[in-house]
Amino acid sequence: MNNLRRWKGLAALVQSAVENGSVAIERVQKDTANLPFGILEKIPEIAPAARGVHVVHDACVGATHGAIRLVTRAVGGGVAAAISAFDDGTE
């Protein structure tokens, strides 16, 4: 196995780790927020506002992690292309 293939493999591994880590962290953040929001959403006087804030919170967390994964894929593609540019077929 040549060094460039190893570098491509390492880049793919790092990209996968960041993407999968982001998915896991997003899930933990939303699940953690569900407890306090669930309590607040049972109080009739503030339930509508709490539900609204909960929706906004989840949307922001989702958008943030979506952006992280999008940038990770773009950078991963750029790294793979840069490594390929150095591949002259030898080794």
pLDDT at 5: 85
pLDDT at 90: 61
> What does the CA dihedral 50, 52, 53, 59 come to, rounded to 10 degrees?
140
Digit-by-digit pLDDT tens for the chain (91 residues) are: 578 888 889 999 999 999 999 999 999 999 999 999 999 999 999 999 999 999 999 999 999 999 999 999 999 999 999 988 887 666 5
- 45 and 36 Cβ atoms separated by less than 8 Å: no
Q: Which helix (H) or strand (E) holds 73?
A: helix 47-85
- 40 and 50 Cβ atoms separated by less than 8 Å: yes
> What per-residue string of b and e applies to 48-70 under the rule 16 or more CB within 10 Å gives b?
eebeeebeeebeebeeebeebbe
pTM of the model: 0.83
- How far is 81 from 61, CA to CA, in rounded Å? 30
Pick from 21, 50, 24, 52: nearest CA to 35: 50
Q: How many CB atoms lie within 10 A of CB 78?
A: 11
